[in-house]
Amino acid sequence: MKQNPQHVAGRPKKFVSKEEMINNTKDNMREAEISMEFAGEEELENLQEKNERRKHAIQRMKNEPLS
């Protein structure tokens, strides 16, 4: 079934500002850091790598010109 590009998961798309995207990413990083306390070795490595990618994504978002 083809998805309507105006909807995500059956709901209308919501505009999210760059600031909100950065804040959401930071929230995800904090949640991952909490999960790291309870993670096994492999999961810990995955979470660390993911947070490293998130750091780079935040930097890219900050450097993007406003459109």
Query: To which H or E segment does residue 12 belong?
Result: strand 11-12
Q: How far apart are CA 17 and CA 19, in angstroms?
A: 5
What are the structure tokens assigned to 63, written together? Answer: 């450097």
User: pLDDT tens for residues 25-43?
Assistant: 999 999 999 999 999 999 9
Q: How far apart are CA 40 and CA 57, in angstroms?
A: 25
User: pLDDT tens for residues 14-27?
Assistant: 889 999 999 999 99
| For the chain, domain boundaries | 18-63
pLDDT at residue number 3: 52
Q: How far apart are CA 29 and CA 54, in angstroms?
A: 7
pTM summary value: 0.75
For the cut 60, the answer to whether the pLDDT of residue 11 exceeds it is: yes
For the cut 90, the answer to whether the pLDDT of residue 8 exceeds it is: no
